[in-house]
Structure 1
Amino acid sequence: MADLVLCEPTELYNILNQVTKLSRLTEPNYLCLLDVRSKQEYDESHVITARRVKKKADEYLIPESVDLECVKYCVVYDNNSSCLDLIRDDSDNSGSENDLLPRGAAIECGKALAHLTRHPVQILRGGYESFSAKYHFFRTQKIIWMPQELDEFQPYPVEIVPGSIDWSSLSFVGDADKLLHIQIEDSPEAFIFPFLRHLCHFIDVHLELGNVILVFSTLGISRSCGVILAYLMHQNEQTLKKSWEHVKKCKNNVCPNRALVAQLSQWETIVLGGFITDISVPLC
């Protein structure tokens, strides 16, 4: 089943919240989100921008306006599919590979659509039940979205790791011990290295207390991303390159300036004992 992959609820959440100047949901070939539950369930509530897939006989009928060949992300969900395992149909006792049947409507639909797209069809792990329980604010009854409505869609913070969120713009008022303000300019002269130990310790302490961490800067693509990269390297004892790949998957416009990248490379020597990531090669 190489054409199907599982999509974690957090992955779909991040896909829905990607922005450039506008929400990426405004791009017609960005996301195709398909709901294969019953009409009654869909009408009661579904994930924002999801289109219902009808089934006629044994055929899944996707909306005519959808061109899966050009879509970057095709995500299918039912109520609660949680894996890509197959079950065996023992009705004819043949034991052949053709007797293996998919678990759940989402997988069945994904298999039927896989040949129509250049990218793997993603099956939402846990289905609507899991996603809507965690991200209840993405439930809606709205079926048709006008381009202007998508233009005005306000994204939520991107979730990098459980309990840690990156937000590109935030006004925050709280207790002094819960707010860490590091004043550095977004310029080639920015010097964040001396603060990295303190930043990582601050995040560690609040994650242990069960707090949600919001990391933000003016545009949310350079300084805040640099802090998150440093923390992932510290938390997981992993390279700058591997940390970058993870953040890039969660937030597609990550782009620390060259001065910050050089300092993150220096931080890698503190975490791992040497330079491992080749920063002469663009990481973006």
Structure 2
Amino acid sequence: MGLFNVTHPASFLLTGIPGLESLHPWLAGPLCVMYAVALGGNTLILQAVQVEPTLHFLSMLSFSDTAMSMATLPTVLRTFCLDARRIAFDACLIQMFLILSFSMMESGILLAMSFDRYVAICDPLRYATVLTNEFIAGMGLTVTARSFITLFPLPFLIKRLPVCRSSVLSHSYCLHPDMMKLSCADITINSIYGLFVLASTFGMDLLFIFLSYVFILCSVMAIASHEERLKALNTCVSHILAVLAFYVPMIGVSIVHRFGKQVPRYVHVLMSNVYLFVPPVLNPLIYSAKTKEIRRAIFSLKM
């Protein structure tokens, strides 16, 4: 089948949680609360960062979390609250691209934040000269450009595939693997490129984050004072929790997807939802609780 007679459905049908359709009205309430916490908490942090402009990376993280929530909110709430499951084909492509882009941006921002912690602990005297406003802005632009350039081919790789098996997606939002599996053509290129994207971005980010903490721990262990060690490590707690909130659900989803063939379908969907919804909800709570600059800035906003 050539590229000029590829057939696509006019729209896809989204799915909530298979097997738990009767519970969708009950799940709508918790989902609304999660979205409210994610959007409200991250918006508050973005406002607070204007009062404390030194927290550049945190503003980037809050922006990506807010954007991720906004990208999934329309279809998720329509599916669970109104049972309005239909989404146009091109709109689905756009949502898929946005979800992956903001997720990759978050991964890159977490890597940049680990570099920030590395310089602050391992070479504190050079922190102000290394982490300049220009350098931080450059890192932000690099993370954004990487996401766009790396993921730009994906919508076109999907659009080249004829969809003839079904038009029903297995989530309440559009994902690349979900759309890819509906094709009746060879999806090898899509699979290889998807694996390449995961390994070269998320995988490399996680590796460098791990290495940065290896160097941080080596530097901290060289500190003679036990109190100073704890003080240095305490500055990393928020970032470590944010990394765990992002990567643990992602790794869990990957493991279940590859090795959990006998696991009920609703478990796959629930874990995918956890991966997308938990970081935007937890990150503002983590940083508000552990970062005194954020608490001070939020207090000044209220005043």
Superposition TM-score, scaled by structure 2 size: 0.23
> Relative contact order (alpha carbons < 8 A, sep ≥ 6): 1 or 2 greater?
2
Superposition TM-score, scaled by structure 1 size: 0.25
